Amino acid sequence: MTGSVMSVNKEEISKTVLELERSFNERWSGGDNRGYLDNYAEEISYFDPVLKELIVGRDAVIAHIESLYSDPHIVRSEYLNPAVSVSDSGDSAVLAYNLNTYVLDDNGKERQLRGWNATEAYRLIDGEWRIVHSNWAFTQTAKDAIAS
C-alpha cells in the first residue's frame, strides 16, 4: 500500500479548537484564569496590548497574566467571525475571532466592557491541543486607516 495518508478532518479540528477556546474564555470571564494558563504550551509566545514586547515561555506568560488578572465579572461574551485555518497534517490550527465582552453597570444593566481581536495558534502536542501563540488586541486602536 503506497501513498496511504490518513485523512484530516479539518471541520472536526476547527470545532474542537473553537470549543476549547470558548471554554477557556468562559472560565476566564467567571473568575478562573487557569483554563488558558494550564493549556499554554511551554514555548508559548504572547502579545498583550498593554505591553510593547513579546513574552516568550509559559512561566513568563503566566507570571505576566497573574500580575494583572482579577475577576472581570463578565456576564456575556459574543464570539464573532471565527475563522480557523487547519494545517494539512492536522497537527496545528490558527483561530482568529472578534470577542465582545459585557459586564453589568451600577444599575444592573449590561454594558460592553471591551472589544477584542484574538488570534490563537494551537498545536497538537502529546494528543492535546495546546496554545503555542496568543495575540490579543483591542478592536480599534488607531483613528486613521493606516498600513504601517
- pLDDT for 5 equals 53
- pLDDT for 6 equals 64
DSSP single-letter state for residue 14: H
pTM score: 0.89
Burial class (CB in 10 A: 0-12, 13-18, 19+), 77: middle
Q: Which residues of the chain have pLDDT under 50?
A: 1-4
Mean pLDDT of the chain: 93
- pLDDT for 2 equals 47
Residue 11 to residue 16: CA distance in whole angstroms: 9
- pLDDT for 130 equals 98
- pLDDT for 147 equals 72
- pLDDT for 107 equals 96
